């Protein structure tokens, strides 16, 4: 067990549909097999059944849906756009000061994010969670509810970041760019996981993990095979994920 402190991991994708939910579910199953009490958290989701899949992987009561996925939108858009696209498409003159209305909206967004973070702490306490897997939305530069962006949510939840990328052609560029962007935001990842989202054979998958690791300086923590329930973790990866390394 991890003791009284709940370990958190925040999964950030290199794009949408790269297997974040599948990886989160696989990590939840692995943690349960290790005897840990697990908790999934999807703070903002758009369309689909990702939160339900995470609850099932954690073997938790479906009635917890509203608590593990507090902000859900029907439109297949970035959560912030699904909620209200106007803050992301309006143009503000940088030479002018922020209007009182904009300042008020910013304060309200901060308060809501703080409230969601507090609700997560309460949920972790209620369930005596040892490990919480937080799944982001899309990639790193994703509009989030309340005119925020995903790095603000990483900061609010104070969770180590794991990058999830697609195991296939193009992932070298996408994964390294995500790692560099995280570094600039002050949230260096602890490693990356690649997920096989395509059943077809791809010769690039043989060398991608090693190339990304050498270029980014981040360890490849594991590979999730196409349609697999369990993740193939590399040596020492589980200890790193649990904060033992």
Catalytic residue among 7, 42, 72, 166: 42
CB 231 within 8 Å of CB 193: yes
C-alpha separations of 79 from 101, 191, 225 in Å: 22, 25, 28
Catalytic (active site) residue 42: yes
With a CB cutoff of 8 Å and minimum separation 6, the contacts of 242 are 2, 7, 131
Long-range pairs, 103-109, Cβ under 8 A, ≥24? 105/146, 105/147, 106/147, 108/146, 109/145, 109/146, 109/147, 109/148
- Please give the angle made by the CA atoms of 210, 188 and 37, to the nearest 5 degrees: 90
Catalytic residue set: 42
């Amino acid at each position: 067990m991890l003791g009284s402190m709940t370990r958190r991991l925040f999964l950030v994708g290199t794009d949408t549909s790269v297997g974040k939910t599948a990886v989160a579910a696989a990590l939840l199953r692995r943690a349960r097999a290790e005897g840990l009490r697990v908790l999934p958290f999807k703070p903002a989701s758009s369309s689909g059944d990702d939160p339900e899949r995470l609850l099932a992987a954690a073997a938790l009561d479906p009635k917890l849906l509203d608590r593990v996925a507090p902000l859900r939108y029907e439109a297949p858009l970035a959560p912030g756009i699904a909620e209200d696209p106007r803050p992301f498409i309006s143009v503000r003159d940088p030479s002018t000061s922020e209007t009182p209305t904009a300042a008020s909206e910013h304060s309200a967004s901060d308060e809501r994010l703080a409230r969601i973070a507090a609700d997560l702490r309460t949920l972790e306490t209620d369930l005596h969670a040892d490990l919480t897997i937080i799944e982001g939305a899309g990639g790193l530069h994703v509009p989030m509810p309340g005119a925020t962006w995903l790095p603000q949510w990483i900061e609010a939840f104070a969770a180590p970041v794991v990058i999830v990328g697609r195991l296939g052609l193009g992932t070298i560029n996408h994964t390294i760019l995500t790692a560099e962007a995280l570094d600039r935001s002050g949230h260096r990842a602890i490693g990356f996981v690649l997920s096989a989202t395509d059943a077809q054979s791809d010769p690039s998958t043989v060398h991608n993990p090693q190339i990304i690791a050498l270029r980014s300086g981040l360890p490849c923590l594991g590979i999730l095979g196409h349609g697999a329930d369990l993740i193939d973790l590399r040596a020492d990866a589980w200890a790193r994920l649990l904060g033992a390394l």
